[in-house]
Chain A
Amino acid sequence: MALEAAAPSEEAGRIKATRVVSSHVSVSRRVVDIWRSRQLLWNLVSTEIRVKYKNSFLGLVWSLLAPAMALLVYAVVFGVALRNGYPEFVILLFSGLLAWNLFQTSVLTATGAIVNNAGLVKKVSFPREILALASVGSASVFFFFQACVMVLFLAGLQWRPAFGELWLIPVALVPLLVFCAAMAIFLAAVNVYLRDVQHLIEVVVGSAWFWACPIVYSYQHIVYPKLSEHHILWLYFLNPLNPIVMTFERVIYARTGLVHLTTPGHPLAQLLPGWSSWTYVEADAIVLAVSLLLFVGAMLVFGRLAGNFAEEL
C-alpha cells in the first residue's frame, strides 16, 4: 500500500500518500519513507559539499589534501623509516586508505549529524535518518574524488591493477556502504542522548580501529602467520572492514604471488592472500549480511530514540 501511495500524484484524481505519525512505525515503512525522500538526501549531500569549502581558496582540494598527507606520512614512516620492504608500498597503502577514508569520514560526520542540525529537526518533519545518510553520501562523493586522483596516480606510475577482477570493487563497495549507513544511523541517534559518543568515536575510529585493518601492514605477511599459529584467525575477521579493505588491495595492488621485498637480501614474501575471486565474494557477502542485520538494528534503535529528538536537542 505504501508503495502505491508513493506514486507521484500528477493526474487529476491524485493519489494521496498516507502518512502515519506514531511512536511505532515499522522499519520497512521508514525505509519506504527514506526512499521517497531521496531527492532531499541528494540536496543535503550537495549542500554539505557546497558549504564545506565555500569560502576557502582551494575549495575541494582540501578534501584531498588531508588523505594525501596521511598517505605521504604512512609511506614515509613505514616504507622509508621502518623499511618494511614492500615493493610499491604506496599503492598498497593507497588502495586500503581509499576504502578506509570512506568509512572514517562517514562515521565521524554522521555522529554529529542530528545534533548539528537541531534547528531543522525541531521544526521540520522529514525522515531523520536522512541526515545520517547524507553524511555517508557526502563521504561517498569525496571517495569518488579520491578514486579519480588514484586513477591518475596509477596511470602516472604506469601501474596495472587487476583489470580482470575490477568487478570486485562494487562487490566490496556495497557492503561497505551498508555498514557505513548502519554505523551512521546508530551513532547519530545515540549521540543525541550521550554527547560523549562524538569524542569516543573520534578516539576509537580515528586511532584504534584503523590499526585493526590491514592498511599499513600486510595481512598475509604479518597477521596470518601469527594468528593462525594460535588458531585465532577468526578474531581478526570480527572487523567487518577487513574483507573489504583486502578486496580493494587485491584489485588495485594485485600482487597475489610471492614478491621480492626491497630489504637487503631481497627475501621472498607473500603480501596478499592467495584467495580466489570467489573467496573474496564470499567474505564480502558475509560482511553484507552482517551489515544488513546491523542496519536493521540501527534503524530499530533510531526509531526508538527519534521520537524524542525534538525534545532532547
Chain B
Amino acid sequence: MTTAVDIQGVSKRFRLYHQKYTSLKERVIHAGRTPYTDLWALRDIVFDVEEGDTVGILGRNGSGKSTLLKCICGVLQPTSGQVVVRGKLAGLLELGAGFQPDLTGRQNIYLNGSLLGLSKTDIDRVFEEVVAFAELEQFIDQQVKFYSSGMYVRLGFAVAVNVDPDVLVIDEVLAVGDERFQRKCLDRVQQFQDQGRTIIFVSHSPDQVRAICNKAVVLSDGKMIGHGPPGEAVRVFRENLLEAGDILALGMEATTTGATATPIASPPAGHPHPIRISGVSLSYPGSDERPYVVTGEPLTIALQFEASEPTAASFVVELRDDKGGVLVRTVSGDLDAAADVVAGSGVVSFRYESVPFTDGAYDLSVGVEHRAGGELFDWKEAVARIEVMNPSKAVGLVALPVKVFVEQASGVVGR
C-alpha cells in the first residue's frame, strides 16, 4: 500500500482582526498596531491516508474539519507543515463552484473540468457520461443561469466524480439533490471505493462515517484526538460531544450518564404516597470507567425505593429515544414480578441481557404504580440518560445479532 495523502504536521492559524482595514488610508493610520487575536484552527495534525482508504473526518462545529479539508485541497495553505498529495485530487468543497452563469452547461463542463485539472481530450472522453449522470441531456446547451438549483448541483457533482480523480475530497455535499440523486451519488462513491481510490470525507453524521469509511479521524478544537477504525473514532467523537455537553449542562439538574446512583432530591409534594423512588443506578460491564453502554452488552437498571406502608407495587421502566418515541416499557407487574413491599427501603433491579440499540442517547423514566393499575404512586420523568455506543457497522434503530447465509446451487456459504 502506498500513501495517497500525507499530512505532515499541519497547523493553520487564522488572524482574527478586531477591525478589518483594507483601504490604504486605514492601513497607514493603523500601521503595525492592528489589534488581532490568533486562532489556531489546526494544531499539528499528522496522519496519512493509504491508497484505497475511505477516511471520515469527524468533529464538532468549529473543530477544524473544513479547514483541514481546505488545506488538503490546497485552497488554504497551512501556516506550518505540509500536505503531500499523490495523484489527481478532486475536491467537492462546494458543488458547482466556478460555474459561469453566462455560459452553457456544455461550456461549463469544459471550464470546470479544466479547473479540476483535465485536458480537453480528457473531457471529450467523459463528456457524455457527465451529461448522462447529471440527467441534463435536454438542457446542456442552455445557459447555466437558467438552471434550477438542483440541476446546478447535479452538474457540479457529475463533473467532479467523472474527472477520474485518484483522491476525492467531499465536504458534506452528499446531502444535495433529491433522494434518488443522493442514492446515485452514494453508489458512485461506493464504485470509487471498489476501484481502490481514496476518499476523504467530512461528515457530521457518525452513522454515515461508519457506513462508508474504513478509517476515521476525530478533531476537536483543531487537535486530532482520535484516529483509527470508524467504530473507535465514533466512540471518541461521542465522548468528545458529551464532554462539550457537560460544560453546557453545568448548573443544570444532575444528569445521570454514569453508574453512580442518582439521589432524587425532592420528595413529591402534596399528599404522601405509600411508596416513592429515591434513586436510580445503572450498571453494565465497565460502568466504572466509561459513561456509555456498548451495544449487545447487558444493562441493569436498579431502582431504590422507600415505602412508608405495605404496598402492592408494580415498578415501571421506560426508555425513549430523543424524539420521545417509547422504545421499551417494562412493567414488573405484567411480568408477574410485582412486589408486595413492606415499609422500609429496598432495591428493584431490571436486568436486560443485551442492549440492542445503536448509537444514541436514550432517556430513562421510572415509576411505581399500584399492581392493579389505576394509581400511580411515583413517576420520575427522564431521571437518567443512557448513552449507547455501537462498535459494529449496524445502522438503524437496533442492532440485532445476525448471521448471513448465501445459498447457491453449489452449496451453502456461511459467513
Contacts and interface: CB of A to CB of B under 8 A. Distances in A.
Decide whether A and B are members of one complex: yes
Interface of A: 8-9, 16-23, 36-37, 39-40, 42-44, 47, 50-51, 54, 119-126, 193-197, 200, 306-308, 310-311
B343 interface: no
Contact of B78 (A9, A22, A50): A22
Interface residues of B, number: 45
Given A39-B119, A120-B97, A47 B88 contact: no
Given A8-B119, A39-B118, A51 B102 contact: yes
Given A23-B79, A123-B75, A39 B97 contact: no
A195 B75 contact: no
A22 B114 contact: no
A123 B94 CA distance: 6
Contact of A311 (B74, B76, B114): B76
A257 B102 CA distance: 52
Given A18-B86, A47-B100, 8 more contacts: A8-B119, A21-B72, A21-B77, A40-B115, A44-B111, A121-B75, A124-B97, A194-B27
B14 interface: yes
A28 B97 CA distance: 28
Given A43-B114, A47-B100, A310 B86 contact: no
B119 A22 contact: no
Nearest to B76: A310
B87 interface: yes
Given A47-B100, A194-B23, A22 B83 contact: yes
Q: Which 8 A-B pairs give the minimum distances between C-beta atoms?
A: A22-B82, A307-B77, A125-B74, A123-B97, A196-B24, A16-B87, A40-B114, A21-B83
B120 interface: yes
Interface in B87-122: 87-89, 91, 93-94, 97-98, 100, 102-103, 107, 110-111, 114-120
A196 B23 contact: yes
B77 A22 contact: yes
A142 to B, nearest CB: 19
B386 to A, nearest CB: 42
A120 B116 CA distance: 12
Q: Which of A42, A43, A197 has the most C-beta atoms of chain B within 10 angstroms of its own C-beta?
A: A43
A47 B107 contact: yes
Interface string B2-14: 0000000000001
A51 B102 CA distance: 6
